[in-house]
Structure 1
Amino acid sequence: MRQGKLTNAKLRELVIDKIEPQNEETVVGAGVGEDCCAVITGDLCVVSTDPITAGGKQTGVLAIHINANDIAAAGAAPIAALVTLLIPPSAGEAQVRKLMNELVQTARSLGIDIIGGHTEVTDSVTRTVVSVTMIGKPVVKGKMFKTSDVQPGDDIIMTKYAGLEGTAIIASDFSGELSLTEQERKELARIKESLSVVKDGRIAAETDGIHAMHDITEGGVLGAVCEMCEASGTGARIDLSAVPVLPLTSRVCTKYGLDVYGLISSGSMMIAARNGNRIVEAMRANGIPATVIGKAGGQGVYDLSSGQKRAITPYPADELYKVLER
């Protein structure tokens, strides 16, 4: 593809025409020549942004999920997204179409409007970079959750399973090496359908006793626990043996020598709350697996699963890169 901005005709064909607003909050959406967009929230406007550079075959899907998950962890519902695509000249139009289909379909599945952004072909990148800015409104009017609001004595609850996103990326990009069985292919499909915590966040936001939430992304379970504790200035005691892991994730980690607790885990939420068992019941009643894995308090972050107190520190890089850098 030729470097620079797409022609208006190509911008319409490859990007704009795929976007159809769904929400009444969208006042001004994506359009040729429109430099700004507008949404009505009628409340706090919750905003988050993240690029995705290691999504493999799932880039479009994950770009929406990881940003919607950040919004959900604040107790808000994502309603609109701005998408920036930086495309290398070596890419073809078919790749852009596929990426846009993933972005649009994933956003639509979550009720999110893509309302604008930027698309450019540039030799500054060697592979397509997708950056999304997500806009949300509180599930409970005027109420927002911060990672730093963990309180000593809170139970630490985890939804779903460790390593979901990492498993989705590795098992998709290296399916030939893994020689997946039919049962594992079905499990992989279910994992890909469970990468959102928007529903988890909505349920938590409507449940009393929640103090903080954090989606489990780069750094996995270890990173998420340490980030919550660092932000709030409290310690935690965690039982890593209580962290649920799916069979396919275990096989992926064994084959590539990965620590599942340090593997990127979008699709899972970490929650700090006064009554962990009540939160678990609320999640399970809505079809979301959830487990109490520890308690906040004291100084330092420790794993008690071995019967001894072992200090927990996050890895310098996510375990996923051990595979991607091969």
Structure 2
Amino acid sequence: MRQGKLTSAKLRELIIDQIQPHNEETVVGAGVGEDCCAVMTGDLCVVSTDPITAGGEQTGMLAVHINANDVAAAGAVPVAALVTILIPPSGKEEQVRDLMGSLTKAAHELDIDIIGGHTEVTDSVTRIIVSVTMIGKPVIPGRMFRTSDMKAGDDIIMTKYAGLEGTAIIAGEYPEELGLTEEDQKQLRSVRGSLSVVADGKTAAKVAGVHAMHDITEGGVLGAVCEMCEASGIGAEIDLSSVPVLPVTSKICKRYALDVFGLISSGSMMIAAENGALVIETLKKNGISAAMIGKAGGDGVYDISSGEKKAVLPYPSDELYKVLERKE
């Protein structure tokens, strides 16, 4: 099997179609493009879980952020986390200590309590694997935003910049090889402090006319657009030339011949709303940069940056693996 996400078809075949909900308390269960589930427990309890398998030295920090981001994209504030750590026999205590320090620091910065989990040394893994389950409460009581709620005619907005997480991971793995300048390093410090979309989700959830939100993770901007379209059953026209990209990200992508639009982008959120200008204005008032990148409607996903409609599909795996596989 290829590294990265399963295709939507394989996800349905191998995973989704085998899940049979039984409890009336389950409000939102597993589905293609849905990163969070929800159960009714007085108010909604929003839950998400994901492992980190390719985070390098930033594994702990990323494990917290990617799961907090999933919850935030559902319009909820993350409050608690369960952490599972699987350690190979070759692992060192210092590695685990550093990992836990990174996890707790990231959780503290987002006001998240790590409330439990599981830690095990096992020869089933060859490197440390971290999986986090995040629990959140809705910003608006009783309401959850789903990826599948995008509507035809919605403006599509993107916060921050494409490829943020991929930039942070690659720069962390190959600092000497990249030959980054002082200005590049300054941008990288900004990137590493911008991998959360908790504030993005909390702010956008309160804006009238916002229908759907989706954090831009593995598969990058193209992957996120395609996931929102598939989940909602509608198409979109995207102007890729309007997608914001930092110079340091462009430099890294050029160095390794990567397409930035297919590079993992935790730290950026995609929002579908009736009035994109109002969403952007509100985000910017709260210190969050954002740009209009397209409009939902029709069938299929098209890039219109050249002035003509060009059909696009997500990459079979994230562009990040082109770099990381060199170390295998």
Q: Which amino acid aligns with 1:73?
A: A
How far is 1:308 from its partner? 1.0
Q: Which moved more, 1:181-190 or 1:76-85?
A: 181-190
SS of the residue corresponding to residue 44 of structure 2 reads: coil
CA distance in structure 2 between the partners assigned to 1:277 and 1:56 by the alignment: 38
SS of the residue corresponding to residue 314 of structure 2 reads: coil
Higher Cα radius of gyration: 1
The answer to whether structure 1 residue 175 and structure 2 residue 175 are counterparts is: yes
Gaps of 5+ in 2: 1-40
Q: Which amino acid aligns with 1:89?
A: P
In the TM superposition, what whole-angstrom CA distance separates every residue of 1:84-141 from its partner, at most 9, and x where no partner exists? Answer: 0000111111000100000000000000000000000111100000000000000111
Q: Which amino acid aligns with 1:197?
A: V
CA distance in structure 2 between the partners assigned to 1:42 and 1:179 by the alignment: 54
SS of the residue corresponding to residue 45 of structure 1 reads: strand
| 1:127-206 alignment runs, 5 A limit | 127-206=127-206
Q: Which amino acid aligns with 1:81?
A: A
Per the normalisation by structure 2, the TM-score is 0.87
How far is 1:217 from its partner? 0.3
CA distance in structure 1 between the partners assigned to 2:152 and 2:86 by the alignment: 44
The answer to whether structure 1 residue 65 and structure 2 residue 48 are counterparts is: no
In the TM superposition, what whole-angstrom CA distance separates every residue of 1:28-54 from its partner, at most 9, and x where no partner exists? Answer: xxxxxxxxxxxxx85210000001100
SS of the residue corresponding to residue 224 of structure 1 reads: helix
Q: Which amino acid aligns with 1:70?
A: D
- What's the counterpart of residue 301 of structure 1? 301
Number of equivalences: 287
- What's the counterpart of residue 248 of structure 1? 248
How far is 1:307 from its partner? 1.0
How far is 1:235 from its partner? 0.4
How far is 1:214 from its partner? 0.2
| 1:1-326 alignment runs, 5 A limit | 43-326=43-326
Gaps of 5+ in 1: 1-40
Using the aligned pairs only, state the percent identity.
72
CA distance in structure 1 between the partners assigned to 2:57 and 2:248 by the alignment: 18
Q: CA RMSD in A?
A: 1.0
CA distance in structure 2 between the partners assigned to 1:89 and 1:184 by the alignment: 37
CA distance in structure 1 between the partners assigned to 2:57 and 2:201 by the alignment: 26
CA distance in structure 1 between the partners assigned to 2:54 and 2:171 by the alignment: 14
How far is 1:181 from its partner? 1.3
SS of the residue corresponding to residue 66 of structure 1 reads: helix
